[in-house]
Structure 1
């Protein structure tokens, strides 16, 4: 059951990313004939940014859990709530109605 939940959450997150980044990419390359170069640069930038963010979150998790003795479950719950509070308004604003 957990595997299906993870797959569903990952797919939903991917759709949110796709909607937001595809709109931005369309605006960025309007009027240019060469699409492959800007697409590669854009995708590489997104992927590098995601790796940097994940590394920063892992460092933050390590520091908070070891120095302040916060349980992992509490850290995950609070982090998830913060992410939802940031993401839901962005999703509503960019959802293609």
Structure 2
């Protein structure tokens, strides 16, 4: 019984790790458009017209590090990088 259970549990843990990284990516892609828009509004003058971030597309570059692009309403795209600790905290930077 142990011979079957141990390899099976290792396979399940491996699969769980694969699915959780995709879930985290989806979570970040859902949260970042609003946060990018807020960040750009803080940096720009409040009376200036500001383009709103529509979506963020990320690719896992290295463990805990994502790279991708932020797509804005006017069609412009900017590079974005995200450093993620896997918990509640992550930092992002949008290229100028």
> TM-score scaled by structure 2?
0.37
Structure showing greater Rg: 2
Tell me which of the two structures has the higher relative contact order, counting C-alpha pairs closer than 8 angstroms and 6 or more residues apart.
Answer: 1
- Point out the structure with the larger helix share: 1
- Point out the structure with the larger strand share: 2
